[in-house]
Amino acid sequence: MLSKLKGTTKKFESWYFRYEGRFLSGALILGFIVDTLTLRRIDLAFEQFVIVTHLVIVAACITFINFYEGKALAAQSRPFMRRVAPLLMQFSFGALFSGFFIFYSKSASLVTSWPFLIFLIALLIGNEFLRARYQRLVFQVSMFYFVLFSFTIFYVPIVLGAMGGEIFLFSGAISLALVAGFVLALALFIPARIAESKRYLVLSIGTMFVALNVLYFANIIPPIPLSLKGAEVAHQVRRVGDEYIIRDEKRLWFATLLSPEIVHITPHAPVFFYSSIFAPTDLATSIVHEWEHYDDTTGEWVIASRIPFPILGGRDGGYRGYSLIENLAPGRWRVNAKTGRGQLLGRAQFILEYVSETPELVAKKGE
């Protein structure tokens, strides 16, 4: 019976080794599909549990692979597990990259955050082709630090209920402490491997830490965990009880596909901007509606007004608010929804034209 079981195991190992490349590709695709189907709100316990589970799997696989290579495991440890560990690690990296892309893209404005999103896409797609590098300790730990830092960037603000530059720096410090503790733990069992890689580990992790800080303070990293759920320019916005009533011109659904919408107002009439911004439960921060007018003479956007207001997270559809300004000049306008420190959540553009009579308006509820 035992010999039959060993024979079956050998056949499975042989079959697995033959199709290992396809397994690794499938692990990437499966990780993305699972994340797309399961990840909804960034502040829910299940989503956070999924991400932490993948982080633990990655850490465990890095530990097993390097214990095996460093002869820290017993000689009878199965080589088959040494081949399976990279598959599990690649699956979890793929799931983390896709999960972070899903969450960060919800918070991103392509105008400013496209470099960071492209980098995440490159990691997601390139994950399949990095299998050789996943055998190297420095690359393993560097990628682990990236996903660890990417996690603390949004998890720490959720826990503290606040966000900003100081919170980001604190998140970075926590990620450094965690990865340092992980490397020191490895060094207790495989000191030779850590010693020979120490210089490159410090250089790689340090470079990644500095790069992510530069990207954040240059407002390239999306303002996660916030995300813009909806934004629109209107003739009037009123709060009625718990609802927001928006009145705007009747438009065909394809009216703004090729160019900014045209807003027709009488001279001196106000224009409103309505936004709904998702924030995790109990997270309090400030948002700014920045109104800009395009100066045809200089060819630049000029700030006409900046209207800040506080928001408190928790509502699925986002925290709703609006601003208005009067005496707008005809021409091109845009309104930016930004965080208090200037990170762009999204914007709405429109062309303002004067008319002698207010056009027919239709009312709807704000999302």
Same domain, 93 and 203: yes
Domain assignment of residue 222, yes or no: no
> Max alpha carbon distance in the chain (Å)?
93
157 with 55, same domain: the answer is: yes
Q: Are residues 246 and 307 in the same domain?
A: yes
Examine the domain organization and report whether 231 and 198 are in the same domain. no
**Domain assignment of residue 328, yes or no:** yes
Is there a single domain that holds both residue 36 and residue 173? yes
245 lies in the same domain as 140 = no
For residue 121, what are its two tokens?
A: 């896409």
- The residue among 176, 197, 217 that closes a domain is 217
One domain, residues 202 and 253? no
Q: Tell me whether residue 37 is in a domain.
A: yes
Write the CB contacts of 314 (distance below 8 Å, at least 6 apart in sequence): 279, 280, 281, 282
Given a cut of 80, is residue 361 above it in pLDDT? yes
- Domain for residue 307, yes or no? yes
**Among 190, 217, 244, residue at a domain's last position:** 217
Q: Say yes or no: 68 and 206 in one domain.
A: yes
Instruction: State the pLDDT at residue 134.
Output: 55
Residues 62 and 177 in one domain: yes
Q: What pLDDT shows up at residue 355?
A: 94
Which stretch of 32-36, 139-143, 188-192 has the lowest confidence by average pLDDT? 32-36
**Number of structural domains found in the chain:** 2
Residue-level pLDDT at 82? 66
Range of the domain at 44: 2-217
pLDDT value at position 185?
94
What tokens were used for 113?
């955050």
Contact between 89 and 68 (Cβ < 8 Å): no
Domain boundary residue, one of 185, 217, 249 = 217
Whether residue 124 has pLDDT greater than 90: no
Same domain, yes or no, for 68 and 199?
A: yes
Q: Look at residue 7 and tell me whether its pLDDT is greater than 60.
A: no
Are both 139 and 180 inside the same structural domain? yes
Selection from 140, 126, 179, 143 nearest residue 61 by Cα: 140
Given a cut of 90, whether residue 11 has pLDDT beyond it is no
For residue 366, what pLDDT is reported?
A: 80
**Are 203 and 350 members of one domain?**
no
Q: Which pLDDT score, from 0 to 100, does residue 6 have? A: 54
Structural domain includes residue 207:
yes
Q: Are 255 and 346 in contact (CB under 8 A)?
A: no
The mean pLDDT value for 195-214 works out to: 93
Q: Is the dihedral of CA 2, 3, 6, 11 positive or negative?
A: negative
Contacts 24+ apart (CB under 8 A), 215-218: 215/115, 215/116, 216/153, 216/165, 216/168, 217/165
- pLDDT per residue as tens digits for the range 313-352: 888 888 999 999 999 999 999 999 999 999 999 999 999 9
